[in-house]
Amino acid sequence: MTSTVFAWSLVAAALLPGKTVAQAADVGIANLVIASGVPTAQRDADLGSVRAFYYFWDTGNEDGLKTALATGFVDHTLPEGRPQGPKGPAFASRMFRAAVPDLRVAIEKMIVAGDYVTVHMRFTGHFRGTMGAVKGAGQPVDFIATDLLKITDGRITDNWHIEDNLTLFKQMGIAKLAM
């Protein structure tokens, strides 16, 4: 285990009481970049809230979400039908996990720069549930997403995100491309 991943695991474990370092390290981080000039205390607070947020996305454990988000959290790219505020990610996770119960997330690149953290991630799993009127047959899903998070006082206050829904919907059999 690299020292960056180990240190990251310790931050996550401290923020998620009752979780072991091994459990907190479940979300992989392939590449972490921290801009120069970010004070150590701010960096640690930012990484802690972001780590808790992606622990939530990787496991569905809403304790991570409660640790990560500010009460005034705003989703600036809110999909239709999703509630605004801290309830939105919990709603999205429950809906998506109903379709992909073994959903996992791996962080491929994270960039910490001042009050902002950019996270590029990969979601994987198997479409075994339903999405709209489409029932999964266990087919694998593997798609990317990118978040831009604003963090104030150690909590995520804002999120702008984009997901590769075309790839996801093609894998699920929801979208088909005509050539």
* 179 pLDDT tier (thresholds 50, 70, 90): low
Q: How many CA atoms lie within 13 A of 9 on its CB side?
A: 16
For residue 178, tell me if it sits in a domain.
Answer: no
What is the domain-level CATH number for residue 12? Answer: 3.10.450.50
Amino acid 53: pLDDT: 95
Q: What's the rounded mean pLDDT across residues 107-127? A: 96
What is the per-residue pLDDT across 70-81, written as a single tens digit (0 to 9) for each? 999 999 999 999
pLDDT per residue as tens digits for the range 97-113: 999 999 999 999 999 99
Q: Does residue 177 sit within a domain?
A: no
| CA distances to 108, 116, 138, 153 from 38, in Å | 21, 11, 44, 14
Q: Between 168 and 9, where is the model more confident?
A: 168
Is 179 part of a structural domain of the chain? no
Q: What percent of the chain has pLDDT over 70?
A: 83
Mean pLDDT (the chain) is 85
Which residues constitute the domain of residue 37?
3-172
pLDDT digits (tens, 9 = 90+) for 36-64: 998 999 998 898 899 899 999 999 999 88
Give a yes or no: residue 66 inside a domain.
yes
The number of folded domains in the chain is 1
pLDDT at 7 exceeding the cut of 60: no
